[in-house]
Chains A and B, each alone.
Chain A
Amino acid sequence: MLRYLVRRILWAVLLFVVVTLIAFVLFFLIPANPAQLACGKACTQQDVQRVAHALGTDRPVYTQYGWFLGRLMPVSFKGGPHLKKPNLGRSFVNRRDVDSVVAEAAPVTASLVFGAMILWMLIALPVGILSALRPRSLLDRASMTGVLIGISLHPVFIGLMLSFLIGYEAHLTPIAGYANFFGGLYGAPGGPIQWAYHLILPWITLAILNAAIYVRMIRANVMETMNEDFVRTARAKGAPEFRVMRAHILRNALLPIVTMLGMDVAAALGGAIFTETVFGLNGLGYNAIQAIGNYDSPTVMGIIVFATTAIIVMNLIVDLLYAWIDPRIRLV
């Protein structure tokens, strides 16, 4: 177990380095000069060079990547080895510390993603299981059609329509915006209740998309498991149908769903761009899109570091969880 963990963590570090390195090189290759934007539109060539030197963008890519890794290290060797706080550097565009950009955006995205996840599982579990029990029934076909209608509409359109009908016309929810969980900004609503109240529509928007996928998947998994030999054995032994369902079918059918949920949530933490954009949620996806548009590579790298870490950690957790739930799997 310990050996497994150590190996997994070493592998995770390597993954992290490779992903960030590729990202870094990719951004370096973009034929746009960040110093030009930072300098302003009236700048001459000399002005831009001066700014490029100050930003460090005139150095070779390996030097810049070295600085990036150096900033992430908890130790510094400059002037004797000593501990320091790891940081993600400073934005080229608005000069904010990327640490604080990520720290402020991450809770917004997390609120959106975890809330939506609960919602879509609440829809997908019953619908998926019922569809599997009655395959090709009216319910099954209807749920599938409903699901496909949900994903054939653009999420931006879904979000705008929800805001317009529920928020603007019916006054049931706020039209858009985010309320902090702990205390609001100046004059703005805050606190857990306002937080949830402002997130209802974004949750629904994000959940519609994913509920569709999970209904399909749960249906498929439950149908497969129902045909397994151990289910037949259990039935043959005369176990009550409810018990067969709960203890044999669902437990096995939903194991892969746990894996998937972990991966999905981790990926979504990298940014649910459309949902964030449509509701003016200043999350990671929104920040990433803006930063990519501005070629603000420190901010983009910061968000990539966060997203990659989230994916790697989630995968690790899911694997451990999986082994803990399913004794057939051994960690080696």
Chain B
Amino acid sequence: MRKRLWYTAPLSLIAVSVLAALLAVTASAQSSASNASGTLNFGSAGADVDFTDPALAYGVLSWQIEYETCLQLVNYPDKTGAAGSQLQPDAAAAMPVISNGGKTYTFTIKKGLKFSDGATVSPADFVWAFNRDANPAMQSPVIPFITDVVGVNDVVNKKAKAVTGVKADGQKFIINLTKPDGALLAKLTMPFFCAVERAKTPIDPKGLNTLPGAGPYYIASRTPGKQLVLKKNPFYKGDRPARSSTMVFTMNTNDQQTYLQVTNGTYAADPNGLDVPTAAAGLAKKYGINKSRFWVNSLVETDYLALNTANKAFGSLAARKAANYAVDRPAVLRARGFEGGVRTSTILPKALAGGYWGQKIYATKGADPAKAKQLNPNCGHVNLWGGNTTLAQTQEGIVRYNLTQAGCDVTVKQFGGYAIYTAAGTKGADFDIMFSGWNQDYPDPIDFFGILLDGRNIHAQNNNNLAYINNAELNKKIDQANAITGEGRLKAFGKLDIWTTTHLAPWVSIDNRNLRDYIGPNVAGYVFQPAKAAMDLGTLYLK
């Protein structure tokens, strides 16, 4: 018995040599990547969709995918540039009739629309989407967006079973609001409100992985954390593009390896964009920008340093202006790699600023420590908060250095994950300046001003107004701009942006981030969808 152990060693040796031989055989017989015609393979580096259930999905990647599978009342077209931000009817035959002083929206749903299982889309499917969203068992993240819809609060608080403010009437679908909301149509493009077939979409707190879709594609299968498969909706009759028959997303791949695999054509692209910033300069040199394989587009996003107006260090306007001169914007931006973004000193991204974007209110070329010192001769102690990723540490290093040059004594505190927002969102938090960024939920300036700068929203906890600015004049101006609909809306907010940056300087705005996309050698049809802040998947195809 004692000897037995030593017999296992040669045995395992034999087993392994057999294995090695097998591997050698397979190495020669390796099949190339299964690029059957019409199938696009994507590698999603370091990310999976959070959910595929439209009532729960809440992330750029999941919305990028839902954009293909969802039939919305109104939606943004599969186009780039200004055209891609122009709302147009999707399931609705025309834009809605707005009545009752802006509180009632009436949509007429087109006839003959079908889900991927062949069932007909009716207005009741949109009503069910609202009821499913509001159902307390679902715990949907949409609730904060729809509290103005009549009856939603009752359902959330378990006082009612159905939302009374939405109803179907023949081919009509009607929404009633408690108060007018200029951004309602933009909000309705979020996948939370896409048509869901009642019989196939029960209330499921875990969220459904697959369900029939009425968009150009539907979710054929999902293995959470690993894979998602989209297939063309055979019953789709609309005019939205679906140029490949199948899309396979491999989730949670490695960023560097995905880059290699896009280069050699294994993957068509990383749907999240190029995740290897160091490669950007080389790609631009090789393929040019926005010509063949390397694409750069502006996101509706602003990276900024929030200056805590409630604490001493940046309590005064002079000190906040000084910070704006002290920070070396190009250096901070450069940490994102080549073409990582466009530097700015204002609040709103270009698409929302109504022509007011690009005014150089503060130095955007580099740091100006002399001017900063002149504005704020006694900077004193500054608490700088930020993340703990490599990128965050690099940026913190630069800002710490800049502020030190401007005469401040800086202490850096780093947080992992979103813990920084829990800490900084608590009123009275002990930071003076912190890194933050805001990406639109829907393309409307109120998504920036209302959430990030309206002082009336400051609570004890969970604040998004990280500058803790509560200025009566600003609040009034926000209300005035928000009341405007149509043409003048963006202009009014753009003007307000310049005013806020000049007279209040609550932020050190750094940049509006770019999305860098890199597509495979055999892929064509690239379109950047600006409202979805991502590449349009439906327009891509294999050459």
Contacts and interface: CB of A to CB of B under 8 A. Distances in A.
B100 interface: no
Nearest to A105: B225
Interface in A175-199: 175-177, 185-189, 193-194, 196-197
B23 A95 contact: no
Interface in B445-495: 451, 457, 459-462, 464
Nearest to B226: A282
Contact of A30 (B34, B144, B224, B419): B419
B542 to A, nearest CB: 14
B205 interface: yes
Interface stretch (A10-18, A41-49, A208-216, A226-234): A41-49
A94 interface: yes
Interface string B133-148: 0001001010111000
Given A43-B462, A54-B139, A101-B225, A193 B422 contact: no
Contacts of A238: none
A31 B257 contact: no
A149 B224 CA distance: 38
B421 to A, nearest CB: 7
Nearest to A126: B13
Interface stretch (B124-132, B258-266, B353-361, B511-519): B258-266
B422 A186 contact: no
A168 B260 contact: yes
Nearest to A286: B252
A197 to B, nearest CB: 5
A196 B256 contact: no
Nearest to A193: B26
Given A43-B141, A177-B253, A188-B227, A36 B462 contact: yes
Contacts, number: 176
B207 interface: yes
Interface in A19-55: 30-33, 36-45, 47-48, 50-51, 54
A42 B34 CA distance: 41
Contact of A185 (B23, B207, B227, B419): B227
A163 B260 contact: yes
A32 B23 CA distance: 47
A186 B248 contact: yes
B254 A95 contact: no
B51 to A, nearest CB: 7
Interface in A78-110: 90, 93-97, 101, 104-105
A280 B253 contact: yes
Nearest to A119: B16
Interface size class, chain A: 35 or more
B16 A118 contact: yes
Nearest to B263: A168
Contact of B229 (A186, A193, A246, A292): A186
B199 interface: no
A94 B58 CA distance: 11
B207 A95 contact: yes
A119 B17 CA distance: 11
Interface string B223-259: 1111101000000000000000010101111101110
B27 interface: yes
B51 A94 contact: yes
B27 to A, nearest CB: 6
A125 B8 CA distance: 13
Interface size class, chain B: 35 or more
A172 B50 contact: no
A187 B34 contact: yes
B88 interface: no
B252 A176 contact: no
A272 interface: no
Nearest to B39: A187
Contacts of B252: 280, 282, 286, 290
A246 B6 contact: yes
A193 B462 contact: no
B26 A197 contact: yes
B498 interface: no
B82 interface: no
Interface string B268-301: 0000000000000000000000000000000000
A223 B83 CA distance: 77
Interface in B55-108: 56, 58
Nearest to A279: B254
B170 interface: no
A37 B422 CA distance: 9
Contacts of B253: 176-177, 280
A45 B459 contact: yes
A240 interface: no
A122 B19 CA distance: 13
Interface in A306-323: none
Nearest to A296: B417
B2 interface: yes
Top 10 nearest A-B pairs (CB, nearest first) are A40-B141, A32-B419, A176-B257, A280-B253, A45-B459, A280-B254, A185-B227, A33-B422, A293-B417, A42-B144
Interface of B: 2, 5-6, 9, 12-13, 16, 19, 22-23, 26-27, 30-31, 34, 36, 39, 41, 43, 48, 50-51, 56, 58, 136, 139, 141, 143-145, 156, 205-207, 220-221, 223-227, 229, 246, 248, 250-254, 256-258, 260-261, 263-264, 266, 416-419, 421-423, 425, 441, 451, 457, 459-462, 464
Interface of A: 30-33, 36-45, 47-48, 50-51, 54, 90, 93-97, 101, 104-105, 118-119, 121-122, 125, 160, 163-164, 167-168, 171-173, 175-177, 185-189, 193-194, 196-197, 200, 246, 250-251, 277-280, 282, 286-287, 290, 292-295, 325
7 contacts: A36-B418, A39-B141, A176-B261, A185-B226, A246-B6, A280-B258, A282-B252
